[in-house]
Amino acid sequence: MQRRDFLVTSALGTAGLAAGNTPGGVPEAESAEAEPQGRATRKILIAGGGFNTAFIRYMAQLTGKRRPKMCYLPTASADSQPGTITFFKNCAPLDVEPSAQNSFIASTAQALGWDEVFLNVDAIVVSGGNTLNQQAIWKAQGIDVVLRQAWDRGIVLGGASAGSLCWFEEGTTDSRPKELTVVQCLGFLKGSHSPHYDAEPGRRPLYQRLIGNGTMKPGYACDNDAGIYFEDNEVKRLVSTRAAAKVYYVSIEGGRVVEKVLEPERIA
């Protein structure tokens, strides 16, 4: 299969682009900003949950490289070793060069700077876990700045759960005690996000309530096993690895919360 096959938009996405809109009728002005010409295409692939081999395969294809370097960044999981092992297992069937970069490090053992690590790979997969702690550590370490540089250079970014939420301006998180709350994130992707939309009962009503009362900006929700591929801030393709998994755009129309169901394409 040639690379152009991997980058083709879905029928839904193509129709939206032809009309000057993103899929689901989302106004382009709401999701995109003017971009200078001559820069690399900025790419992010997210999933609501379950960034498995199929998502990693698609991410590898998006790099356009024959054997892409795929780096796993498990900050949100406190550099969980089982999570890292799972990532390597998911990469095993693929023609990729996997690596992992911990955030809990010592200078005596970490010979390379963050820029030397993250700007010399083709894709970065961010783990799930505690988004609030992830954001605090990235900012303290300066990893957030390097991730922005990676995005601007066309290095493919992505992940599920905390690994999807982190790229948006804001979203709902279980990172604090007692209840789901709002977390502010990197803001590469405009608007808000809710992962695990079908898997955790509190996600849907809270997301709709926060958007409805103006606390949170409109945005995208993803079921587990469903995701979105963005170029810059434009939705290019909706994908899933499970038939029932959907993507949603939640906004305000006529003073009411409207949830638009967006049908993804299956990937394997």
Tell me the mean pLDDT in the region 160-188.
93
If you average pLDDT over every residue of the chain, what do you get?
A: 88
Give the tens place of pLDDT for each residue, 98-107. Answer: 999 999 999 9
What percent of the chain has a predicted confidence (pLDDT) above 90? Answer: 81
Q: With 0-12 CB in 10 A as exposed, 13-18 as middle and 19+ as buried, what is 263?
A: middle
Is residue 161 flagged as an active site residue? yes
Tell me the mean pLDDT in the region 4-21.
32
Flag whether pLDDT at 218 surpasses 70: yes
- Per-residue pLDDT, 37: 56
Give the tens place of pLDDT for each residue, 138-159. Answer: 999 999 999 999 999 999 999 9
Is residue 196 flagged as an active site residue? yes
**Beta strands 168-173 and 97-100, pairing class:** unpaired
Flag whether pLDDT at 15 surpasses 90: no
- Residue among 164, 192, 193, 196 flagged as catalytic: 196
Taking the C-alpha atoms of residue 72 and residue 241, their distance in angstroms, rounded to an integer, is 21
Domain segments of the chain as ranges: 42-266
**Beta strands 97-100 and 69-73, pairing class:** parallel
pLDDT-wise least confident of 7-11, 86-90, 108-112: 7-11
- Per-residue pLDDT, 250: 98
Q: From the CB of residue 78, how many other CB atoms can be counted at a distance below 10 Å?
A: 17
Flag whether pLDDT at 9 surpasses 70: no
**Beta strands 43-47 and 226-231, pairing class:** antiparallel
- Closest by Cα among 63, 59, 147 to 103: 147
- Residue among 161, 164, 175, 251 flagged as catalytic: 161
End-to-end C-alpha distance for the chain, whole angstroms:
14
Flag whether pLDDT at 196 surpasses 70: yes
User: Regarding the domain with residue range 42-266, which homologous superfamily does it belong to in the CATH classification?
Assistant: Class I glutamine amidotransferase (GATase) domain (3.40.50.880)
